[in-house]
Amino acid sequence: MKNFLSVEDVPDLTGLLHKALAYKAEPFVDKQLGVGKTLGMLFMNPSMRTRISTQVAARNLGMEVIVFNVEKDGWQLEFADGAIMKGDKTEHIKEAAAVLGQYLQVLGIRSFPKLTDRNEDYSEHVIRQFAKYSNIPVLSLESATLHPLQSLADILTIKENFQQPRRPKIVMTWAPHVKVLPQAVPNSFAQWVNAWGEADFVIVQPEGYELAEQFAGNATIENNQDKALQGADFVYVKNWSSYKNYGKIIRNDTSWMFTNKKLALTNNAKVMHCLPVRRNIVIADEILDGPNSIVIPQAGNRVWAAQAVLSELLK
Amino acid sequence: MKNFLSVEDVPDLTGLLHKALAYKAEPFVDKQLGVGKTLGMLFMNPSMRTRISTQVAARNLGMEVIVFNVEKDGWQLEFADGAIMKGDKTEHIKEAAAVLGQYLQVLGIRSFPKLTDRNEDYSEHVIRQFAKYSNIPVLSLESATLHPLQSLADILTIKENFQQPRRPKIVMTWAPHVKVLPQAVPNSFAQWVNAWGEADFVIVQPEGYELAEQFAGNATIENNQDKALQGADFVYVKNWSSYKNYGKIIRNDTSWMFTNKKLALTNNAKVMHCLPVRRNIVIADEILDGPNSIVIPQAGNRVWAAQAVLSELLK
Amino acid sequence: MKNFLSVEDVPDLTGLLHKALAYKAEPFVDKQLGVGKTLGMLFMNPSMRTRISTQVAARNLGMEVIVFNVEKDGWQLEFADGAIMKGDKTEHIKEAAAVLGQYLQVLGIRSFPKLTDRNEDYSEHVIRQFAKYSNIPVLSLESATLHPLQSLADILTIKENFQQPRRPKIVMTWAPHVKVLPQAVPNSFAQWVNAWGEADFVIVQPEGYELAEQFAGNATIENNQDKALQGADFVYVKNWSSYKNYGKIIRNDTSWMFTNKKLALTNNAKVMHCLPVRRNIVIADEILDGPNSIVIPQAGNRVWAAQAVLSELLK
């Protein structure tokens, strides 16, 4: 695997899932694989789960890890070709990425979208330029439009929590929020569920919050939450801002918060969220503190997802 | 030892002191104990000594360490039960702690008091919620009211510096400062000296600066610094804000600064401070640069205190 | 080697260059040398290359590394003797350095000049006080007036890129910029080229930008860039602020930007820069994207320079 920017970089999704589960059973089985190799993790935005779980994963493989908060530890980067750098950007991505490629064996990048220019964000020009100029494998720690480490952990969690001889029904539902959030997690989850192909997949959102078709793919799209939840085995709750009316909160219908009343419509569904979650805005306490929530083991699986991916990138 | 939040978590204080001294003599004797285990250190406030000494201690035991500045690297946490999270708190402690418990084997927390609501601070609701929800051992890196790693290093330093066949006289004296400081260090020192039980212990402060009785315990309480210092073998100098008139500087009598004139009243006492210390406000240059100061080896002992505690938490 | 603050600390420059090249060929040949030892890296200013390359170097030697952003992770330090610390400085260098010396085996410091008081900056009082009070080897990660790890990597890069049986001509040329920059990199490069003694060395700058004589040494000084570039085998492009009119940009002649037209005046010179570089202000895209730029491998050599120096400091 050359880079890990989306599910499209994964030649064998089933194999990757098996590898992640194998690491969960035996974390240190490949502890020599990364010895003498360094993972650099560049954060252009805050992170807790990704930051910590990926470090643990890398150490399990014997890798060294260097964490770098780009603008706090260093300086602002210029991404425009041909820029005359007379402003506040101190270094061009061409040098920054190439130099990092001299020091590191794998380069992780977290770079959120600005949510102002859809074409710019959806071109993934930040992470793609790191991949282009660094000459080493690049690992997405969440980019402008996708969060593949999260999605791999999500599929892993679904696989672990469903052992019936039929396809599970997975419903990803929009939920209210108080801030403008990216589409990266829902885009990516949709892309991975589609690539996995072993579930019936429904995406439900209020009108105007439709995801980009390139990620929603063949999912069944609904606008009626109650109807969509019927028979669900898994409910993935998540807020996102509008793709069509880009980066906007076009309305914030609080009746979409996930509660026990909503849960009652499902097939005793397991409830998922990528975290952090705003309690009693996105999901009610009664769900997060109740027996159907699997958000904590879902977060725990981030380690094994990252370890499987790093293992492939080291090859 | 399940957690290390105060001396009350220590089943065998004498054993812990011996263990710390043994590590000082042979730092790497247990270098396999922590292999494959990770200490997470979460800082909600600045730290130098604790941050660095605890990292060194963990590495001496073979542990991996992940340092996380909560609000700079991540986001603000909500600690209130039932909160409707529509403000600037992004994640609830219930999720944050539980997720960290998925990634780490020991969780260190530094969380200072706000010094506005005494009940809130003295309930230790921040560190106690980490302990409650993380499901892994929690290590105090200084909490709202206590700093047990400092106190263990303090007792260790006293033990090393006193080999006479009698009980030492230890005087902890309030000293002036320019900022409002917590009571954590003096509370904790008092609690540990009382638990240790091998010294005559005097606390001296201007009227109104009395510490909480639960920590001062059986110490002799004085208001006259010159009188209290007589015959002292150790003087622990420290500023703190008022407990009674909570979080206030009720007066700042500069005559309480520790000087050679004060030292002359003692039994050639060794002078201690937890650092950082404001020179010529709390303690005069002549003391800190003189032969009676043991503040540097006292700080050095932080490594061995942390290593002994981590060793117990790993069991 | 006791400290590494300038080329004057290096007893055998040829040997150090050979050691760096040996590490480049076999990075892990001394991987036991630093086991159980910790490098602390204190940053009082931003850093990317130094931060990451030095960490990699230390790990190659088996050392542990602790990175500490002084004012973000800790607090402001007082450097004045006899200060009455009633302001915003929380800890005196005397304690801070001495305590670090208790925890670490090597102490790296990055401390930029303030560029307001030339005597203060050129006394190097910050890094020298760390060296004075820490009692352990101190490694400059760029100080007020010098950047010796950069210069060692620079000489290494020149050595690797010149195998002719004659002395290379090296021209260090001032270039325009939009910010006020220190003289540390050009001072240090001049000092090292002079100490190395195996090149013809020219420094060219507009009038008023002359470097301090103690560093420029025996270099040929020119004010005409086109004339100076003639026959150059290496061109080191760098901006710096005025030493004479201290810390000022006395003029910013954009015709000094390094371009293909300037390159054509040279002996097909290799072009160097310490990075970060502002494209199309300091050096044109056509140079940085062209075949004569060696800025990326030059940055890559920072690892081997740091590893050779750390190896000597550990002895």
Q: In the numeric block, which tokens belong to residue C225?
A: 């860039």
Which of the four pLDDT bands, split at 50, 70 and 90, describes residue B184? very high
Q: What is the pLDDT of residue A43?
A: 94
| Calpha distance C171→C177 (Å, rounded) | 19
Q: Which residues of B139-176 are buried (b: 16+ CB within 10 A; e: fewer)?
A: bbbbbbbbbbbbbbbbbbbbbeebeeeeebbbbbbbbb
| Calpha distance B209→B223 (Å, rounded) | 9
Chain B residue closest in CA terms to C82: B285
Chain C residue closest in CA terms to A105: C56
Which of the four pLDDT bands, split at 50, 70 and 90, describes residue B298? very high
Q: Which of C213, C184, C77, C78 is nearest to C121 (CA)?
A: C184
pLDDT in tens, C91-127: 999 999 999 999 999 999 999 999 999 999 999 999 9
Q: Please work out, in degrees rounded to the nearest 5, the angle formed at the alpha carbon of residue C106 by the alpha carbons of B284 and B62.
A: 105
Helix (H, G, I), strand (E, B) or coil at B202: strand
Work out the minimum CA distance from C225 to partner chain A, whole angstroms.
22
Q: Where in chain A is the domain with CATH 3.40.50.1370?
A: 7-146+301-314, 162-293
Q: Measured between alpha carbons, how far apart are the two ends of chain A, in Å?
A: 8
Dihedral angle at the C-alpha atoms of B46, B50, B53, B56, nearest 10 degrees?
-70
From the list B56, B72, B277, which residue is nearest C38 (CB)? B56
Chain C residue closest in CA terms to A89: C278
Say if residue B74's pLDDT is above 90: no
Q: Is the CB of C91 less than 8 angstroms away from the CB of B280? A: no
Please report the number of interchain residue pairs, chain A to chain B, with beta-carbon separation below 8 angstroms: 89
Q: Which of B217, B228, B151 is nearest to B186 (CA)?
A: B151
| Calpha distance C280→C277 (Å, rounded) | 9
Q: In the numeric block, which tokens belong to residue C182?
A: 């220190």
Taking residues C29-35, report their average pLDDT: 98
Q: What is the pLDDT of residue B286?
A: 98
Taking residues B176-180, report their average pLDDT: 96
From the list C48, C55, C300, which residue is nearest A74 (CB)? C48
Q: Are B242 and B248 a contacting pair, CB within 8 Å?
A: yes
Q: Is the CB of B276 less than 8 angstroms away from the CB of C104? A: no
Q: Is the CB of B52 less than 8 angstroms away from the CB of C91? A: no
From the list C276, C280, C302, which residue is nearest A95 (CB)? C276
Q: What is the pLDDT of residue A71?
A: 76
Taking residues C16-43, report their average pLDDT: 98
Residues of chain B positioned with their CB less than 8 A from the CB of C99:
48-49, 275, 296, 299-300
| Domain A162-293 CATH superfamily | Aspartate/ornithine carbamoyltransferase (3.40.50.1370)
Q: What is the pLDDT of residue B75?
A: 82
Q: What is the pLDDT of residue A80?
A: 95
Is the CATH number of domain A7-146+301-314 2.40.160.40? Answer: no
Say if residue B66's pLDDT is above 80: yes
Taking residues C144-170, report their average pLDDT: 98
Q: What is the CA radius of gyration of chain C?
A: 19
Partner chains of A (3+ C-beta pairs under 8 Å): B, C
Residues of chain B positioned with their CB less than 8 A from the CB of C38:
56, 59
Say if residue C76's pLDDT is above 80: yes
Taking residues B254-262, report their average pLDDT: 98
Q: Which residues of C touch B (CB under 8 A)?
A: 36, 38, 40, 64, 66, 68, 72-75, 78, 82-86, 90-92, 94-96, 98-100, 102-104
Say if residue C73's pLDDT is above 90: no
Q: What is the pLDDT of residue C74?
A: 79
Which of the four pLDDT bands, split at 50, 70 and 90, describes residue B178? very high
Chain A residue closest in CA terms to B39: A56
pLDDT in tens, C177-233: 999 999 999 999 999 999 999 999 999 999 999 999 999 999 999 999 999 999 999
Q: Is the CB of A90 less than 8 angstroms away from the CB of C297? A: no
Q: What is the pLDDT of residue A192?
A: 98
Task: Report mean pLDDT in 10-residue bins for chain A, 315 residues.
Answer: 97 98 98 98 94 98 94 86 95 97 98 97 97 98 98 98 97 97 98 98 98 97 98 98 97 95 98 98 98 98 98 96
Burial-class residue C194 by CB neighbours within 10 Å (0-12, 13-18, 19+): middle
Q: Which residues of A touch C (CB under 8 A)?
A: 36, 38, 40, 64, 66, 68, 72-75, 78, 82-86, 90-92, 94-96, 98-100, 102-104
Q: What is the pLDDT of residue B71?
A: 76
Burial-class residue B268 by CB neighbours within 10 Å (0-12, 13-18, 19+): exposed
| Calpha distance A203→B56 (Å, rounded) | 49
Residues of chain C positioned with their CB less than 8 A from the CB of B297:
102
Q: Give percent above pLDDT 70 in chain B.
A: 100
Q: What is the pLDDT of residue A165?
A: 96
Which of the four pLDDT bands, split at 50, 70 and 90, describes residue C64? very high
Work out the minimum CA distance from B180 to partner chain A, whole angstroms.
28
Which of the four pLDDT bands, split at 50, 70 and 90, describes residue C75? confident
Residues of chain C positioned with their CB less than 8 A from the CB of A85:
278-281
Q: What is the pLDDT of residue A138?
A: 98
Q: Show the 3-state SS of A70-125.
A: HHHHCCCEECCCCCCCCCCCCEEHHHHHHHHHHHCCEEEEECCCCCCCHHHHHCCH
Which of the four pLDDT bands, split at 50, 70 and 90, describes residue B124? very high
